[in-house]
Amino acid sequence: MTEITKEIIDKYMEVPMKSNDIFNPSVCELLEMSKAYSIPNNSGLPLFYPKIKSRSAKFTKNYEIDDPEAQKYLKDVYEFITHNGMIKVDARIGEGSELTFHARLFVSAKYPQLAFMFKKNLFETNGEEIEQVDVITIPEYPERKILVFPKESLELILGSDYYGETKMAALRLAMHVAREKHDSLGLHAGSKAYNLKIGSQMKHIGVLIFGLSGTGKTTLVCATHDLKAPESIEIIQDDINFINSDLYAWGSEKNFYVKTEGITSQPLLLDAARNVGSILENVYVNDRGEIDFDNFSISTNGRAIVERDKIPYKSKSYGMGKVDVIFFNTRRDDLPPILKVDSVEKAAAIFALGESTITSADDPARAGQSVRTVGFNPFIINDPAKEVDIFKRSLQGKNFKAFIVNTGYIGGWNGLKIKPQDTFMFVEKSLRDEIKFEYDPDIGFEIPKEVEEMDIKRFDINNFYSQNEYKEKMKNLRSERSEFLKTLKGLDKDILEAI
């Protein structure tokens, strides 16, 4: 067989080539096709148990399409799609900007639930998309292998039936195209807007919230702060946002794909997840048919596609407009609950570090150790320093504020737990300019010294560490950060020196 090229793959993805191919079924048709694979439950919600319960990061690799190893798998895929029924689904990534993506999914007909979730998760195509990304998913392939072809905007998912893999394949490619061709970034960050009365004026404040898994990103996105009219929040997007060089942000997905661990403490999302129109994955159902989000017998990676329209306080638009404030969520036992980032270079450095610590739930033996992922984004394709450089340039010359938000403990696991309500308070006070910050030479950032109408003494780092002990901890932290940033080849020197 000749070399398999993108053009050959395109031929099979563009139109139904065989009588047993299914071309662009509706959401209702896909629901009917998926019912046979759904776990029965009293709520009558589509609920699926994939064999693979989470993303296959260690099986994922970037390829040139003419790579001999890649050609082996491409030929297997070509053979499969020419002899087996496939479902073709067209969807759109992005809303609120002219930069949108035609996302094509070609999936084995034996797994209609993946096509169903893809169609439900993303937007309908409108013919105005200016870029295209392609995903081929063959869960019954005998080997687990995720092949990413950045130049072709193509990804093959072999041996995995977990929907999150298929979703993030399309989004990963879209983020890469945005960066390489449009000087824009796809960010692993949530977004919301605050309408606050500050002084005598109402202000609309666009907010991006970064954070690795487990740092409370979704919790903060959905926090209402118990605001009373005319003040309010507007929930825009939970997972992936795009920004351009003018620091304008817009959303990627029509509906949210949320993790259900802890959802019972988030009433806005819980009600939406239980509502008709949701799709569940990896969620436990007991012998009486009752859905139990707090039982992790199936997996700790329970998921739900929830309809954005069912979430209270949702924004009418997926486009946020200008980003005014950035929050970098982290969990560390050696930082105050909030720190002010006072320069573009420091904001870019924190973005580059993508920092948090391993929790006891993740790995008790390594609890407290630092973990770092550039951009808080495990889906960056190649050249992470370029990602940081574009982020820095998008901030330059703009009027914005940035903060590091610690959502963990202070003083170790037996120290002071920073509760969600504490975080909400510090976030709101920072938005209202009701925190007095002072530069701390040990940390290298501004820390809170006074908060209007609040005694913050219990959060003082000096309650937990002696002065010498803390100086040493911060010295070590700076050294760790510096060593990590040095691994990002081509990173601007002023970012390296900022922390």
Per-residue pLDDT tens, the chain, 499 aa: give them: 579 999 999 988 887 778 899 999 999 999 999 999 999 999 999 999 999 999 999 999 999 999 999 999 999 999 999 999 999 999 999 999 999 999 999 999 999 999 999 999 999 999 999 999 999 999 999 999 999 999 999 999 999 999 999 999 999 999 999 999 999 999 999 999 999 999 999 999 999 999 988 888 999 999 999 999 999 999 999 999 999 999 999 999 999 999 999 999 999 999 999 999 999 999 999 999 999 999 999 999 999 999 999 999 999 999 999 999 999 999 999 999 999 999 999 999 999 999 987 654 455 556 667 889 999 999 999 999 999 999 999 999 999 999 999 999 999 878 999 999 999 999 999 999 999 999 999 999 999 999 999 999 999 999 999 999 999 999 999 999 999 999 999 999 999 999 8
* Position 52 in a domain: no
In this structure, the answer to whether residues 250 and 288 fall within a common structural domain is no
Distance CA 349, CA 374 (A): 9
Would you tell me how many other CB atoms lie within 10 Å of the CB of residue 214? 19
* Position 260 in a domain: yes
Determine the pLDDT at residue 393: 97
Distance CA 130, CA 133 (A): 11
R_g (Cα) of the chain, nearest Å: 23
In this structure, the answer to whether residues 360 and 466 fall within a common structural domain is yes
Q: By three-state DSSP, how is residue 71 classified?
A: helix
Residue owning tokens 């590091």: 404
Would you tell me how many other CB atoms lie within 10 Å of the CB of residue 98? 11
Closest to 388 in 3D by CA, of 484, 479, 321, 476: 484
Distances (CA, A) of 99 to 5, 75, 93, 184, 243: 26, 33, 9, 9, 10
Residue type, 44: G
The answer, as to whether pTM is greater than 0.75, is yes
Residue type, 443: I
In this structure, the answer to whether residues 92 and 204 fall within a common structural domain is no
- Take residue 156 and report the two structure tokens written for it: 């093959």
Closest to 355 in 3D by CA, of 478, 195, 193: 478
Which CATH number covers residue 13?
3.40.449.10
Distance CA 356, CA 334 (A): 11
Residue type, 118: F
Residues 6+ apart with CB under 8 A from 410: 333, 334, 335, 336, 337, 416, 418, 459, 461, 463, 464
Residue type, 74: L
Determine the pLDDT at residue 365: 59
- Terminal-residue alpha carbon distance, the chain: 54
Determine the pLDDT at residue 369: 76
* Position 49 in a domain: no
Closest to 224 in 3D by CA, of 303, 314, 331, 340: 314
In this structure, the answer to whether residues 197 and 346 fall within a common structural domain is yes
* Position 24 in a domain: yes
In this structure, the answer to whether residues 427 and 343 fall within a common structural domain is yes
Determine the pLDDT at residue 18: 87
Give residue 263's domain range: 256-309
* Position 51 in a domain: no
In this structure, the answer to whether residues 208 and 129 fall within a common structural domain is no
Question: What total of structural domains would you count in the chain?
Answer: 3
Q: By three-state DSSP, how is residue 20 classified?
A: coil
Distance CA 307, CA 50 (A): 21
In the chain, how long is the greatest CA-to-CA distance?
Answer: 74
Q: By three-state DSSP, how is residue 395 classified?
A: helix
Distance CA 347, CA 122 (A): 31
- Take residue 87 and report the two structure tokens written for it: 């479902």
In this structure, the answer to whether residues 302 and 362 fall within a common structural domain is no
Q: How many CA atoms lie within 13 A of 88 on its CB side?
A: 20
Is residue 150 reached through a cis peptide bond, with omega within 30 degrees of 0 on the bond before it? Answer: no
Which CATH number covers residue 477?
3.90.228.20
Give the E-state strand segments of 109-164 in sequence order: 131-138, 145-149, 154-158
In this structure, the answer to whether residues 420 and 356 fall within a common structural domain is yes
In this structure, the answer to whether residues 145 and 225 fall within a common structural domain is no
In this structure, the answer to whether residues 168 and 195 fall within a common structural domain is no
Residue owning tokens 């998008």: 394
Distance CA 380, CA 374 (A): 8
Query: Alpha helices of 378-458 — where are they, by DSSP H?
Result: 384-395, 420-431
Residues 6+ apart with CB under 8 A from 141: 76, 80, 158, 159
Determine the pLDDT at residue 359: 56
